[in-house]
């Protein structure tokens, strides 16, 4: 399998798991890695939260060997705090430190972080330059096409990030104003790829193995990143891996297999967070796992009441039994 390199970090050229707040926690990364995700990026970590010793922020930083290669993603608007956070992250031995300059969520943008930095290229350059000085691993940047349709600047911005020392750039083909609506523009990713020498990771709307290959062909990107298509479907990485290697797809997961994977996911969450917290956070994952299953509406209502793993086991057994009868 062909590899790309971010600095000295080798990554198989299949697909990576996108950083998704309140979704891509350690259990989520592990379940995706088990199905072949080539690379993972953590949930966003506040640079100031880390610098000021916030316990919850620090908990986001731990990486297990099974997740590697894995990046820790930080955000912030101040070069001093972002670079200091990178220095503190060295203690967690990330393979890569990624700086989020593409998040469109209003509360992040209002603080001057995330996609707000795409309108402040000099500030963004200084953040990257100082972070590279303080990091013991490669530093990458995640960006969008621009703030809005009237300010598409991904190409110029990516060139500036490269000059500041970024080892790779991830490009989501939407503007910040689009949030997650409309369609990602893959031509923007292709344009960035032509403009820089560092690796370019393409992100936006990849929802199948076939579409992953189309992203590679359309953009010539070095790696494809998958986000929302992994919801309740971590085996999409298995499909992508097999399709790239052989041109064929594995058989679809049976209802039994889907429920078994869901339970394995829940077990991983319990190991990391304890049963009470894990089952609370697992509810949205359960909704994704049962999507498209007969009686899904009733299952969604049921999962809102789940507080213990045994309840989830009972639900899964009922789903399997109903499928067997049909």
> How do residues 34-90 score in pLDDT, each as one tens digit?
999 999 999 999 999 999 988 888 888 999 999 999 999 999 999 999 999 999 999
CA-based nearest residue to 326, from 293, 289, 286: 293
Percent residues over pLDDT 90 in the chain: 91
pLDDT category, 6, cuts 50, 70, 90? very high
Backbone φ and ψ for 43, nearest 5 degrees, come out as -60, 160
Could you tell me whether strands 3-6 and 9-12 are parallel, antiparallel, or unpaired per DSSP bridges? antiparallel
Enumerate long-range contacts of 219-222, CB under 8 Å, 24 or more apart. Answer: 219/186, 219/187, 219/189, 219/190, 219/193, 220/190, 220/193, 220/194, 221/171, 221/189, 221/190, 221/193, 222/4, 222/13, 222/168, 222/193
For the ranges 27-36, 129-138, 267-276, 316-325, which has the lowest average pLDDT? Answer: 316-325
pTM for the model stands at 0.95
Q: What's the average model confidence in pLDDT over 233-251?
A: 97
- d(CA 137, CA 6) in angstroms, rounded, equals 10
Known catalytic membership, residue 103:
yes
Which whole-number Å values give the CA distances from 221 to 1, 3, 56, 251, 295, in the listed order? Answer: 16, 13, 35, 28, 40
SS3 165: coil
- d(CA 114, CA 132) in angstroms, rounded, equals 18
Q: Where in the chain is the domain with CATH 3.20.20.70?
A: 3-246
Find the catalytic residue in 40, 103, 137, 221.
103
**Domain 255-325: CATH class, spelled out:** mainly alpha
Q: Is 22 exposed, middle or buried (0-12, 13-18, 19+ CB in 10 A)?
A: exposed
**pLDDT at residue 295, as a whole number:** 87
Considering just the CA atoms, what is the radius of gyration of the chain in Å? Answer: 20
CA-based nearest residue to 226, from 29, 10, 61, 63: 29
CA-based nearest residue to 257, from 300, 289, 279, 299: 289
- 191-202: pLDDT as tens digits: 999 999 999 999
**Which element (helix H / strand E) includes 264?**
helix 255-273
- 294-319: pLDDT as tens digits: 888 889 888 888 999 999 999 999 99
Which whole-number Å values give the CA distances from 94 to 15, 69, 71, 141, 162, in the listed order? Answer: 19, 8, 6, 15, 20
- 143-165: pLDDT as tens digits: 999 999 999 999 999 999 999 99
What residues are paired with 98 via a beta bridge?
Answer: 73, 140
What residues are paired with 99 via a beta bridge?
Answer: 74, 141
Q: Where in the chain is the domain with CATH 1.10.1200.80?
A: 255-325
**Domain 3-246: CATH class, spelled out:** alpha beta
- Check whether 326 has a pLDDT greater than 80: no
Backbone φ and ψ for 248, nearest 5 degrees, come out as -125, 165
């Amino acid at each position: 399998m062909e590899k790309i390199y971010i600095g000295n970090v080798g990554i198989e050229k299949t697909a990576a798991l996108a950083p998704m707040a309140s979704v891509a926690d350690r259990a989520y990364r592990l379940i995706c890695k088990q199905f072949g995700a080539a690379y993972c990026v953590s949930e966003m970590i506040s640079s100031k939260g880390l610098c000021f010793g916030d316990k919850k922020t620090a908990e986001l930083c731990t990486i297990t060997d099974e997740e590697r290669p894995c990046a820790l993603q930080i955000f912030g608007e101040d070069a001093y705090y972002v670079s200091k956070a990178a220095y503190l992250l060295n203690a967690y031995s990330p393979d890569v430190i990624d700086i989020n300059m593409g998040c469109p969520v209003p509360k992040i943008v209002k603080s001057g972080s995330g996609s707000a930095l795409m309108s402040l290229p000099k500030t963004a350059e200084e953040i990257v330059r100082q972070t590279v000085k303080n990091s013991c691993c490669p530093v990458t940047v995640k960006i969008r096409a621009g703030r809005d349709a009237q300010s598409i600047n991904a190409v110029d911005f990516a060139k500036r990030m490269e000059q500041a020392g970024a080892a790779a750039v991830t490009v989501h083909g939407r503007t910040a104003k689009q949030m997650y609506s409309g369609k990602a523009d893959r031509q923007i990713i292709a344009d960035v790829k032509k403009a820089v020498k560092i690796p370019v990771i393409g992100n936006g709307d990849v929802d199948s193995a076939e579409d992953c290959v189309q992203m590679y062909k359309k953009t010539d990107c070095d790696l494809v990143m998958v986000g929302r298509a992994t919801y309740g479907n971590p085996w999409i990485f298995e499909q992508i891996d097999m399709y790239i290697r052989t041109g064929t797809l594995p058989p679809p997961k049976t209802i039994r297999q889907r429920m078994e994977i869901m339970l394995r996911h829940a077990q991983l969450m319990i190991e990391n967070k304890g049963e009470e917290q894990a089952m609370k956070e697992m509810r949205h994952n359960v909704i994704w796992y049962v999507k498209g299953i007969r009686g899904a509406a009733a299952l969604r209502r049921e999962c809102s009441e789940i507080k213990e793993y045994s309840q989830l086991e009972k639900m899964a057994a009922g789903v399997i039994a109903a499928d067997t009868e049909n």
